[in-house]
Chain A
Amino acid sequence: MGTAAKRGEVAEEEKSYYPTPPDISVLAPNREDRLFLVLSIFIGVISGLLVICFRVSINWFEVLVLGSAPHPGQMRLLLVPAITGILVGLLVHFVFPATRGSGVNQTKAALYIYNGFISFRTVIGKFITSAVAIGGGFSLGPEDPSLQIGAGVASLIGRRLRLSRESLRMFAPIGAAAGLAAAFNAPISAIIFVIEEVIGRWSAGVLGSIVLAAFASVSVARAFWGPEPLFRIPAVAINGSRQLLAFAILGVAGGIAALIFSKGLTALRANLYRLAHWTRLCQSAAAGLLIGIIAYFGAPQVMGAGYGIIDQAIHGQFTWTFLLALCLLKILATTLSSASNTPGGMFAPTLFIGAMLGASVGSLEKVLFPHLTISIGAYALVGMGVLFAGFLRVPLTSVFMVIEVSGNYGIILPVILANTIAYLVSRGLHTVPIYEAFARQDGLELPSLEEQREARVLHIEDALQPVTAPVFSGNDTWRSISERLALAGSPAILLHTTDEDWYVMGREELAAAARMPDAPIERILTLERVPILYPDLPLDSTIPHFERWPLLPVRNRVRGRALEGTVTLADVLGRYQQE
């Protein structure tokens, strides 16, 4: 009910924003194409600046309320997350209702449901509530909100310029890529994530603008933070393929951890949804209190995004038992934070859990097999990718993300191996990806991009049939054809023309040729060009042609005049029905 109300509320707001654009398309038909690239750069720059302000606001707030070095036993650790939870709960409930959750699904909803519309209030609200929540100790990260803030900026700019509905839709992922790129300081990962998780397909029309916006935002971010990647990565070297086995073990462990994390999170979130509506006001506060208890009694490291702790883990500063404890406690703290719908992202906690798990597995393997020469930093890095692949279910992004934040291509093989294993384990045991599960719980029917990615595409060869239609030469006369055709009873014939091409002739055409019964048939008719089809083309590419042609010849790519077979509409539909 809540979602429906929200949808109605947004729709009303949306209506008031949309201009009446038909005049513009007539007055300046190329206007949007010209504006698109310029605006992409503006979106990138503004998103980058906003993300900087956002990140610094989180840090400022964190230092102010939690102190510069939180350590167990400080009373503020117990109180601050709970108080922050109350504040965030009130803000989300009464002022910024559209800022709940991470921001990824909201951006997808803007793209698929709200025609690219994200209100200014949502952008401001996401900024404030996420900064307060993350700075106040909730186990959440700034990346997903940055993504939504970026998408919101793009939406605002698009509306200000009175762009068409179609352009506004395309703007949302451009802004999302820009926001994420600035937050991660990793443009390629951001672009791939947006394509993999938000758009779901490689669209040439929007790719250029996404790349432009992402690079503009990262350039701005680097002007402030410098060119260094998100983490300081020690030298990583993998000696010998046998050591890959160590990463395979990490892949399995990561898949299981991702499974526990996603199952726990979706189950708790579903249970919290079932509670009375008023409880949502205090769910964040309760989550904050529990996180405060974890921090107060020994693990303040689980609070906030935890980049500093990831850095320390990469540099081998913890024992494997402590790393494992941090991994488990972070899963718990993030589950509480995210299930309570507190605004904030899941990227950073996923990286945290992955890094701790990786470093822990690596340290343990080093204890058990001291001859292993792989550094703990390598394990932590691969661990981050593993959780990304297993939990967020974005395998391509996970590989590029690790390479981009490490700047080391030498690690690509272990990353691909471990990520694939983790992805397969997680996918095999938990079929619904986390963002999709969240969307369903929120009452949104967003397209499953994982299914889209993995859906089997049928090709013409899947419905191809041997040539059964009668084949005639272009020199044959109507009389000879009709005599032989009477025996065959086929709806169409294949005509092999004198220029070695093929033509499909229906019975009506054949009847029309009866006026000159003894002339070569190809001289009587004005031959249209038959569609040139090959077996590897998508099966659905044949459908538009059946209105004109009852039968389609499929040619060989090497010997262009030779036929591989034919397809009819019945063949195509029959093949689809088998799926």
Chain B
Amino acid sequence: MALLKSPFTPEERAARRKLIFTDTLSLTTILAITVLLAVAAHFIHESYASHRKSLADRWADRGIAALNRKEPLVAIGALRSALALDPGNQDTEVRLAEALAAAGRTAEAISYFNMLAQSRPGDGIINLQLARLAARQGEEQRALADYQQAIFGDWHGNGYLQRREVRLEMVEYLISRGLFLRARSELLVSAGNAPRNDNAFLIQIAKLMEKSEDPQNGLHLYQQVLQQDPDSLAAMEGAGRTSFDLGAYRQARRYFEQAISHSASRGLQISPGTQELARQTNRLLLLAPLPDLSPRGRALRILENRKIAQARLAACATRLSSKSEPSATGSSQADGDLHPSLLRHPIKNLESHFGKPGGKSAEAVESSPNLALENLQARWKQSKRITLGQLERSRGFAEAQMQLVFDTERITAELCGSPSGDDALLLRLGEAWRPGGAWRITNQ
């Protein structure tokens, strides 16, 4: 068997072995250095990361505290610092945008929120903030769109509660913009989604329904609450108020009496507004010539109402005559005491009450308030002497007298400003008046 002969001399082989050994040693050393370096890098990286996190948290806490103290500028600085240390922290980003908005840097805040919305288009809180900013800028359509996005957006924690709150906030915005119809539909959705036993929330919705000029649904909710919790003072008060708004004065009185007695027995405090409304309801029911009264009782009330209306007419006439002189000289101060709506659109308002002036001159138009008053005074002169018997005998005559009373209250309200006391109640009673002599209060 032939031996393989190495191409190297013994010295070269030794050198080769030495080379392999040194290379192995070098590579091992490099590996060891790599491992040591990795440990060192891990240690300093972790220590810095934890330090950085704690710093970020500290700045974020400072920012939130400043925001709560209503110091948005301080909050902006602190939150920016927090974000520099912990970029992309969503809570801090939202807080920063809130701080920008609170500091009045609306454009900056909108730009910031828009940027956040680009990365998280479905985020509830971001869309809510955008809606608030748009509302602040008077951009109604955008605000409503953003509110809708917020309602249907993603929420951390209890999404149902947060969406509910956003919807109510949107309703308040709608009410503030006079968009009652849309507010009512949103409230109906809220009421429909609300748990049956969440009385506090139902009362909240009912109150907003009152604000959105929907007393009917408000009353329904108050009654629903009272069925579940007959001791709910807020529901009693609300039911009284909405009944009053609906002209259901007897029902309103019942709820108010219930609320007053309940509050007295439980040592609770009833609101001054409710107390005043209860008083007005009682007085109104004493003034109203209700059909279920005896003919004499009704006639007596009509006579009393006539006296009240006459006094109001006289006072208004005196007031207008005393002011006619300075107004003729062009004093604008005299107009200041007139009803604001009449001042804003005098001709339009007078047209609505007394017909179009047609080809009348400007002077004739300017004298229209006096003309209206003269017409009213003429009607009063025609029915100056009436007797209790006339009123008792003829229902039609009685109704005509009450119509005169209501017309007097209405016209004097427009010419001389809103009435108070019994005049205000008669005016309100007139709103519930139906030609033919029936009041909505009759059956309730």
Contact = CB atoms under 8 A, between A and B. Distances in A.
A507 interface: no
A308 B12 CA distance: 59
A95 interface: no
A232 B88 CA distance: 8
Given A45-B34, A317-B108, A224 B41 contact: yes
B27 interface: yes
B142 interface: no
A3 B51 CA distance: 43
Contacts of B42: 224
Contacts of B12: 26-27
Given A28-B16, A28-B19, A63-B51, A57 B85 contact: no
29 contacts: A27-B12, A27-B15, A28-B16, A31-B19, A38-B27, A46-B37, A49-B38, A52-B41, A53-B41, A53-B44, A56-B45, A60-B48, A68-B59, A69-B77, A69-B84, A71-B77, A157-B30, A161-B26, A161-B27, A224-B45, A232-B87, A234-B118, A235-B119, A315-B112, A316-B111, A317-B112, A319-B108, A376-B115, A377-B115
A305 to B, nearest CB: 12
Interface string B303-319: 00000000000000000
Interface of B: 8, 12, 15-16, 19, 22-23, 26-27, 29-31, 33-34, 37-38, 40-42, 44-45, 48, 51-52, 55, 59, 77-78, 80-81, 83-85, 87-88, 108, 111-112, 114-115, 118-119
Contacts of A232: 87-88
Given A27-B19, A60-B48, A317-B111, 20 more contacts: A23-B15, A27-B8, A27-B16, A31-B19, A42-B31, A46-B33, A49-B38, A49-B40, A53-B41, A63-B55, A68-B59, A69-B59, A69-B78, A161-B27, A224-B41, A234-B115, A312-B84, A316-B114, A317-B112, A376-B115
A56 B19 CA distance: 38
B272 to A, nearest CB: 49
A363 to B, nearest CB: 9
Given A316-B112, A316-B115, A42 B30 contact: yes
A68 B108 contact: no
A110 B37 CA distance: 25
Contacts of A38: 27
A31 B15 CA distance: 14
A475 B100 CA distance: 95
A537 interface: no
Nearest to B23: A161
A26 B13 CA distance: 11
Contact of A311 (B15, B44, B81, B87): B87
Interface in A235-252: 235
Interface of A: 23-24, 26-28, 31, 35, 38, 42, 45-46, 49-50, 52-53, 56-57, 59-60, 63, 68-69, 71, 157, 160-162, 224, 232, 234-235, 308, 311-312, 315-317, 319, 375-377
Contacts of A26: 12
Contacts of B15: 23, 27
Closest A-B pairs by Cβ, 4 of them: A69-B81, A308-B84, A49-B37, A68-B55
Nearest to A27: B16
A54 B346 CA distance: 81
Nearest to A59: B48
Contacts of B85: 68-69
A59 B52 contact: yes
Contacts of A312: 80, 83-84
Contacts of A162: 22
A37 to B, nearest CB: 13
A31 B34 CA distance: 22
Nearest to B39: A49
B290 to A, nearest CB: 64
Contacts of A68: 55, 59, 81, 85
The residue among B40, B77, B84 with the most chain A CB atoms within 10 A of its own CB is: B84
A201 B115 CA distance: 42
A56 B44 contact: yes
A403 to B, nearest CB: 20
Contacts of B23: 31, 35, 161
Contacts of A57: 44
Contacts of A71: 77
Contacts of A53: 37, 40-41, 44
A46 B80 CA distance: 35
A52 B45 contact: yes
Nearest to A228: B88
A31 B23 CA distance: 10
Contacts of A311: 87
Nearest to A38: B27
Contacts of B26: 160-161
B157 to A, nearest CB: 25
Contacts of B115: 234, 315-317, 375-377
B84 A46 contact: no
A365 to B, nearest CB: 14
A207 B429 CA distance: 96
A50 B36 CA distance: 11
The residue among B26, B29, B30, B52 with the most chain A CB atoms within 10 A of its own CB is: B30
A24 B19 contact: yes
A35 B23 CA distance: 9
Nearest to A157: B30
A160 B77 contact: no
B112 A46 contact: no
A410 to B, nearest CB: 14
A27 B119 CA distance: 62
Contacts of B111: 316-317, 376
Given A28-B16, A53-B37, A235-B118, A46 B59 contact: no
A54 to B, nearest CB: 10
A46 B41 contact: no
A92 to B, nearest CB: 24
Contacts of A319: 108
B244 to A, nearest CB: 51
A49 B34 contact: yes
Nearest to B18: A27
Nearest to A233: B119
A319 B16 CA distance: 69
Contacts of A308: 83-84, 87
Contacts of B30: 42, 46, 157, 160
B45 A46 contact: no
Contacts of A31: 19, 23
Contacts of B8: 27
A70 to B, nearest CB: 9
A321 B48 CA distance: 34
A525 B27 CA distance: 59
A28 B77 CA distance: 65
A20 B78 CA distance: 62
Contacts of B77: 69, 71
Contacts of B22: 162
Contacts of B87: 232, 308, 311
A451 to B, nearest CB: 38
A42 B26 CA distance: 12
Contact of A234 (B33, B40, B83, B119): B119
Nearest to A315: B115
B137 to A, nearest CB: 15
Contacts of B118: 234-235, 375
A313 to B, nearest CB: 11
B86 to A, nearest CB: 10
Contacts of A56: 41, 44-45, 48
A162 B22 CA distance: 10
B221 to A, nearest CB: 44
A45 B40 CA distance: 14
A68 B78 CA distance: 11
A170 to B, nearest CB: 18
A572 B37 CA distance: 57
Contacts of A160: 26, 29-30
B55 to A, nearest CB: 4
